[in-house]
Amino acid sequence: MKYYSLTTPSHKISFQQAVVSGLAPDGGLYMPEYIPELSNEFIGQLPTLSKTDIGFTIARPFVDESIADETLREIVSETIDFDFPLVVLEENVFALELFHGPTLAFKDVGARFLARILRHIAKTIHQEIAVLVATSGDTGSAVAHGFYNVEGIRVVILYPSGMVSALQEKQFSTLGKNIQAIKVAGTFDDCQRLVKQAFQDEELRKTRFLTSANSINIARLIPQTFYYFLAWSQLNTPKQVVFSVPSGNFGNLTAGVLAKKMGLPIRAFVAATNVNDVVPEYLHTNIFKPRASKQTISNAMDVGNPSNFPRLLALYNNDWNYISKEIHGYAFTDAETQTAMLDVFTQKKYVLDPHGAVGYLGLKKYLESTPSAQGIFLETAHPSKFPDVVESAIQQSITLHPSLAGLSHKQIQSISCTSNFSDFKNLLMKH
């Protein structure tokens, strides 16, 4: 399997090179040169297969032979060694809980896979790898813990000052050792821009072995397909399955589409966003207008220019009629999100996080016109990561998850930086 740049399709490299590079030299995202198709027999056997067997079968065609079967199977097994339960909320409405990993967020899957792939690569190239990542919350936590104390890897996490929850910030900014957090005076889009500029800076690339841990890295994207297969395998009658994906950078939804292209029989997708609605707007109008992000209670989705959107277009051959037929976009306000959280808690005694609540709203909106479908929305983070937002919405206190309770006494070790690239570059060169 080779990987090509979306900007220059003639530029093709190996999986290992794509992982280490993060972005192509021309700034383009890497995509596999073809989408491997899984057999109907494999799809039919999903309910009887182990998580490791499912993940390994999916990953093997994407990963080159420099990583042997035994090693890849071990990487997959370590990546998904926690539960992915499908919870029934009401008839034909299911919550896929993706927050049972070490940092209580879906991004544990991609971060753990990427960390183990890079650990393997670092041993072969005998050089320290610097991992850059921009976060609006959960990515930073997942990457920090996935790479913590990994030999040969140094991680730099950029996050927007005042725009991540206190618990999220403490999860990734208190570790120290090979994890450095940088608090940027700006938005998540500014953080994302700084990371992209770093990859295109010749001086940095000559002096630092740089790669990315954002979902722009293909090794973050591939493992996120696993849990779509795991969810489908848990349905008793998996017919007309629709996935509603709370979306910010659109890596999660892109992974779902990849799963469908590989053969998973998914009827449709819902791109559910907060008021940062550039993709739902595109799906309705065929006009894509990136803009500055707005701050909301579902902070991990506060993205005004989603990085993975070009990949999503590529999977649909840049055909608006095609993509708008399979992906339905809906956007919701904070007030609507809070109301959904209260209603679900009152009626179902289930606590939604503010991102999962957006996914729930998107699914309910879709089912209004297609009541015969079975819908799964992704619960992407544990609600106790957002105690102030959740408690305000459901009008009741919640119990903090044990892994978060111990963070209160830890000291934040962030470095402050402007959103100016030269300032950020000086920090990278210095540290």
Tokens describing residue 297? 């209670």
Q: b vs e for 44-58, b when ≥16 Cβ sit within 10 Å of the residue's Cβ? A: eebeebebbbbbbbb
Beta strands in 15-137 (DSSP E): 30-32, 86-90, 93-97, 129-134
For 287-399, list the strands marked E by DSSP: 327-331, 374-379
Q: In what order do the strands lie in the sheet with 374-379?
A: 86-90, 93-97, 374-379, 241-246, 266-273, 327-331
The number of angstroms, rounded, from the C-alpha of 202 to the middle of its chain's C-alpha atoms is 28
Q: Of 2, 12, 107, 410, which is the active-site residue?
A: 107
Are the C-beta atoms of 186 and 419 separated by less than 8 Å? yes
123 catalytically annotated? no
List, in sequence order, every beta strand (DSSP E) within 353-417.
374-379, 415-417
Query: How wide is the angle at C-alpha 266 spanned by C-alphas 234 and 352, nearest 5°?
Result: 60
**Token digits for 47?**
């309910």
Name beta bridge partners: 15.
none
Residue 430 burial by Cβ neighbours in a 10 Å radius (0-12, 13-18, 19+):
exposed
Q: Which residues are catalytic?
A: 107
